[in-house]
Amino acid sequence: MIFKLHYIVFTFIIFIIPGPVLCKDIIVCPDCEIRSVKEAISQSANGDRIIIKKGIYTENNLSIDKEIEITGEDFPVIDLEFKYQGFIIKSNNVKISGLEIRNISVNYMTDLSAIKVENSENCVIENNVITDTFFALYLANSDGCLIKNNKISCRAMSESSSGNGIHLWKCNNITIEYNETTGHRDGIYFEFVKKTTITANYSHNNLRYGLHFMFSDSNVYRENTFRENGAGVAVMYTRNIEMTDNKFEDNWGPASYGLLLKDISRSLIKRNLFYKNTTGIYMEGCEQIQVEENEFKSNGWATRILGNCMNNKFTGNNFVSNTFDVSSNSSRSENIYSGNYWDKYDGYDLDRNGTGDVSYRPVSLYSMIVDKVPESIILLRSFIVELIDATEKAMPVLIPETLIDDNPKMKMIEYD
Amino acid sequence: MIEIKELKMSYGKSRALNGINLSLEKGQVVALMGPNGSGKSTLLKSILGLVIPQKGKIFVNETDIANNYLYRTNIGYMPQIANYPENLKVKELFNIIRDIRNGSKEKDEELLEKFRIFEIYDKYFGQLSGGYKQRVTASIAFLFDPDILILDEPTASLDPLSTEIMKSKIIDSKNENKLIIISSHIISEMEELADRIVYLLEGSIRLNMNIKDIKNGSGERLGKAIARVLQSN
Amino acid sequence: MNTKILKYILFELLRNKFIILYSLILMVMSFSIIYIGQDSSKAVITILNLILFIVPLICLIFGTIHFYNSKEFIQFLLTQPVNRKSIFRAEYLGLSISLSLGFLIGVGIPVMFYGFLLSGMYLVLTGIILTFIFTAIAFLSSVINKDKVKGIGLSIIIWLYLTIIFDGLVFLIIYFFNDYPIDKFIIILTSLNPIDLGRILMLLQVDISALMGFTGATFQKFFGSFIGMAISAVFMLLWIFLPLAVSLRMFKRTNF
């Protein structure tokens, strides 16, 4: 009787699988008939759904070349045992969700990752927990994917033996949102990535950069938080970036920046918060960047703008409790500062229009001295420094003539 | 009682005391006299330990006073001008002194009563006149019934009534077999009070005699007698 | 016995109009700085500048004047059966404690009132340590000079030196020798000035972001470490005890 039943099921399966229209669910669990994910994938066809029940699966190298969905119930664990890598998605329309993937091997030759997406479109990677990674999510040459709500963590010890949390190379139209990544070399890394939206991610305590991209034009970064990364956020050689409502916090260290911009042009940086960074924004070779309505608070240097930056515009920003608001290595400035609030401004407003009647010079002589002779930082807030700055204020000779805010605000600017 | 041997003291180049030898016994009033800058106050301050002499020794009740401070338990001192912190209450000054002399002999509050110090007990020194401060100082000097009293111009800023009280207190103390050393310019007063004159000039003792011997029954005023003796020396 | 003399000296000084005024002025200034400044750390910085400037000056000048004014009283106390060390100690502690209390009330209350917690605590602590240091220095310059005017003059010169001239020299050294590895030398140099020490310890609180910069990190590493803190504390204590030891030695030999 039992034998007979098995026979019937078997025949049933045999006849159904090739059916292109009928999609089915394949259940994987430690006590089921199908006990491994690999087997389930090999038995699946386009449009199928593999449901993995709670349990620990020690597997490796799960190559997906069909349009299937893999979803976990109660976070089944895919343990790679530091042997090799996890899923490799090679076909379009693949979805992976609800899994816990852990223990990815560190390899100096290959970028091993928990989920690798290669040359495919419209993938969805959602609600996964990925721990002890080398690389976690690795997308190459892909388009239109959604990466959402993944929790990615690693305990990287050195930059050379660690990978990136979310790594994109030559991708377009990707949406990355609500992910958390920590403990990697770079939290989020892009190279040649276009038209991508990065929203509400939390990238913290990564060894190098919280966010790092190069040659990645026309991307939008919104509402992300980058905190306590070794060197903050670095973006290079890119045009048309929009960065709004992000938070750059607690990036401390000799070479640490809230946001490092190198050769960036035609971009918008708006309504971000820069809080307690050694340097809030560092700009090198940047052009036509609008820095608007940001809040710079308790940074060492709110902004460091090198002499090769031109036509950048700083308007409506709040500069509060920074040790230095603006510093520069050059005595010329071809950037525009207007309508910002500087808490160090001590001018008056006789006509009561909210704008100070005398213009403000945000660069202090002492900040220029510190730039040239860094050791003099030890005299910060000493009487002699106050004296030097007061003298320069009374008789300006050394600080850039053009670096001036003609419309300094009297009160902190409120944003709605 | 007080034994001074070869006491020498100079401030910079100027000599203040030039080898003083002096022995003073109890039961007498000694007037220390001499012009300004003769070394009177240096001598008194040396006995009190305020000035540390370069050479010589001072014994008070057979104790060498160098590096010692407890010997001052037996000394009552009244400076010429006493100045106390403005915001200190009279009562508090008495408390300080009592605390310092913790476990001293029985108190002698006679002056305290006669000078009516109790009435100003709660006042601050900043509110007191010089005369009142001086009365406070005098009361403290006598308060612990010391064997030796050193009084620097004791009546200089006292009113006549207080001066009389002071004088009779000095005589009473002498009768109680104490040693009283008074530095004074007022010869008439010394004639009335003192038994012995010690006259200093340029750091040396020029005269150290009982008043009786100075006068030698001549009946002249003390001042004249002193001048005569000084000339004849 | 000593503590009782100290108690009354303290009572007396706490009634001193100048100390009450000092406390009140500090309080008015602190409250207005906090009230005007929109941001707490900016207020802390402004109060810090005030403290580094005013506390040494007041302690030196008031300490010197007070010592000369107390000379007759000290002299009177010394005719009592008490040793010089006790009187000296009571006078020093009385003055430094009462100035500290004046400071604590004047700055501590506004700072605590607005809840500045850690940086506020450091601020108050720095002020109190500076009070003890500069009262000791005031006593030293009073004991050195018999003449009141000279004593006050010396105090003002010391203040000018430690507040401005010293940092000016440090600045020149840094400026002209910055090609050489002078970081450690500068750390030692600044440790020699109590005002700088107080300032740097505060910087670790309010300007930590800037100190984490390239060179600042060297300083931060030293002063922020336990050893650096301990060494700073030792130097601060030396600044109290060395002037005191020297002046006590001289005080014991003074002829009144």
Distance separating alpha carbons of residues C3 and A49, to the nearest angstrom: 86
The encoded tokens of residue A202 equal: 């939390």
Distance separating alpha carbons of residues A242 and A260, to the nearest angstrom: 15
Local structure of residue A405 (DSSP, 8 states): B
Q: What is the mean pLDDT of each run of 10 residues along chain C (256 residues)?
A: 79 90 94 76 82 94 94 91 92 95 92 77 90 96 93 95 93 88 86 90 77 71 83 91 95 88
pLDDT recorded at residue A201: 96
Residue, of A276 and C37, whose pLDDT is higher: A276
- Given a cut of 70, whether residue A48 has pLDDT beyond it is yes
Min distance B48 CA to chain C CA atoms (Å): 6
pLDDT recorded at residue C165: 94
Least confident of A10-19, A324-333, B109-118, C3-12: A10-19
Are C38 and A343 within 8 A, CB to CB?
yes
Task: Let me know if chains B and C touch, i.e. at least 3 Cβ pairs under 8 angstroms.
Answer: yes
Percent of chain B with pLDDT over 70: 97
- Note whether C255 contacts B: Cβ–Cβ < 8 A: yes
Neighboring chain C residues of A379 at a CB cutoff of 8 Å = 167, 170-171, 174
Are C163 and A383 within 8 A, CB to CB?
yes
Q: How confident is the model at residue B190 (pLDDT cuts 50, 70, 90)?
A: confident
Percent of chain A with pLDDT over 90: 58
C-alpha count within 13 angstroms, C-beta hemisphere, residue A234: 19
| AA letter at B157 | S
- Note whether C174 contacts B: Cβ–Cβ < 8 A: no
Task: Let me know if chains A and C touch, i.e. at least 3 Cβ pairs under 8 angstroms.
Answer: yes
- Note whether A8 contacts C: Cβ–Cβ < 8 A: no
pLDDT digit string (tens) for C108-136?
Answer: 988 888 766 778 888 899 999 999 999 99
Model pTM greater than 0.95? no
E strand or H helix at C139: helix C117-144
**For C212, which residue in chain A has the nearest alpha carbon?**
A253
CA dihedral sign of residues C155, C158, C163, C165: positive
pLDDT recorded at residue A374: 84
Strand-pair partners of C244: none
Distance separating alpha carbons of residues A348 and A346, to the nearest angstrom: 7
pLDDT recorded at residue A9: 58
Find, among A129, A119, A209, the residue nearest to A172 by Cα.
Answer: A119
Domain count, chain B: 1
Min distance C96 CA to chain B CA atoms (Å): 17
DSSP B194-222: -SEEEEEETTEEEEEEEHHHHHTT----H
Count Cβ atoms below 10 Å from residue A252 Cβ, excluding itself.
20
**For B84, which residue in chain C has the nearest alpha carbon?**
C73
Residue, of A109 and C18, whose pLDDT is higher: C18
Min distance C214 CA to chain A CA atoms (Å): 4
| AA letter at A366 | Y
pLDDT recorded at residue A19: 47
Give me the total of CB pairs closer than 8 Å, taking one residue from chain B and one from chain C: 80
Whether C107 and C124 have beta carbons less than 8 Å apart is answered as yes
pLDDT recorded at residue A96: 95
Alpha helices in A215-325 (DSSP H): none
- Note whether A377 contacts C: Cβ–Cβ < 8 A: yes
Residue, of A157 and A315, whose pLDDT is higher: A315
Least confident of A299-313, B52-66, B217-231: B217-231
Give me the total of CB pairs closer than 8 Å, taking one residue from chain A and one from chain C: 113
Count Cβ atoms below 10 Å from residue C222 Cβ, excluding itself.
19
Are C72 and B81 within 8 A, CB to CB?
yes
Per-residue pLDDT, averaged over A30-39, amounts to 89
Distance separating alpha carbons of residues C229 and A188, to the nearest angstrom: 38
The whole-angstrom distance between residue A186's C-alpha and the CA centroid of its chain comes to 8
**For B149, which residue in chain C has the nearest alpha carbon?**
C79
The encoded tokens of residue A226 equal: 């980058």
Per-residue pLDDT, averaged over A370-374, amounts to 84
E strand or H helix at B168: helix B160-175
- Note whether A345 contacts C: Cβ–Cβ < 8 A: no
Percent of chain A with pLDDT over 70: 95
pLDDT recorded at residue A76: 94
Distance separating alpha carbons of residues C59 and C100, to the nearest angstrom: 10
Are C12 and B72 within 8 A, CB to CB?
no
Min distance A411 CA to chain C CA atoms (Å): 9
pLDDT recorded at residue C133: 96
pLDDT recorded at residue A80: 87
Neighboring chain C residues of A278 at a CB cutoff of 8 Å = 209-210, 212-213
Query: What is each CA distance from A237 to A215, A262, A267, A289, B210, in whole angstroms?
Result: 5, 6, 12, 13, 111
- Which residues does C contribute to its contact with A (CB < 8 Å)? 37-39, 41-42, 45, 48-49, 52-53, 163-164, 167-168, 170-171, 174-175, 178, 182-183, 186-187, 190, 196, 199-200, 202-203, 207-217, 219
Least confident of A396-400, B8-12, C6-10: A396-400
Per-residue pLDDT, averaged over A36-53, amounts to 91
pLDDT recorded at residue A236: 93
pLDDT recorded at residue A346: 84
Instruction: Considering only the C-alpha atoms of chain C, give the largest distance between any 2 of them, rounded to a whole number of Å.
Output: 62
- Note whether C23 contacts B: Cβ–Cβ < 8 A: no
What is the CATH number for B91? Answer: 3.40.50.300
Are B99 and C11 within 8 A, CB to CB?
no
Q: Are strands A247-249 and A225-227 parallel, antiparallel or unpaired?
A: parallel
Per-residue pLDDT, averaged over A188-206, amounts to 94
pLDDT recorded at residue A190: 93
Per-residue pLDDT, averaged over A68-82, amounts to 91
Alpha helices in C37-116 (DSSP H): 40-69, 71-78, 84-103, 109-113
pLDDT digit string (tens) for B116-146?
Answer: 888 888 999 989 888 889 999 999 999 988 9
Mean per-residue pLDDT over chain B, rounded:
87
Whether A318 and A296 have beta carbons less than 8 Å apart is answered as yes
Per-residue pLDDT, averaged over A170-197, amounts to 94
Count Cβ atoms below 10 Å from residue B219 Cβ, excluding itself.
7
Whether A302 and A273 have beta carbons less than 8 Å apart is answered as no
Helix/strand/coil for A39 = helix
Mean per-residue pLDDT over chain A, rounded:
88
Query: What is each CA distance from B233 to A27, A242, B221, B226, B229, in whole angstroms?
Result: 135, 112, 19, 11, 6
Q: How confident is the model at residue A14 (pLDDT cuts 50, 70, 90)?
A: low
- Note whether B2 contacts C: Cβ–Cβ < 8 A: no
Find, among A10, A57, A65, A67, the residue nearest to A37 by Cα.
Answer: A57
pLDDT recorded at residue C38: 58
Task: Let me know if chains B and A touch, i.e. at least 3 Cβ pairs under 8 angstroms.
Answer: no
- Given a cut of 60, whether residue A333 has pLDDT beyond it is yes
Q: Are strands A175-177 and A146-148 parallel, antiparallel or unpaired?
A: parallel
Neighboring chain A residues of C216 at a CB cutoff of 8 Å = 300, 374, 377-378
Min distance A344 CA to chain C CA atoms (Å): 9
User: Tokens 């910002």 belong to which residue?
Assistant: A340
Distance separating alpha carbons of residues B7 and B42, to the nearest angstrom: 11
pLDDT recorded at residue B123: 92
Find, among B98, B108, B160, B177, the residue nearest to B139 by Cα.
Answer: B108
The encoded tokens of residue A221 equal: 């970064």
What is the span of the domain harbouring residue B185?
2-232
Are C255 and B50 within 8 A, CB to CB?
yes
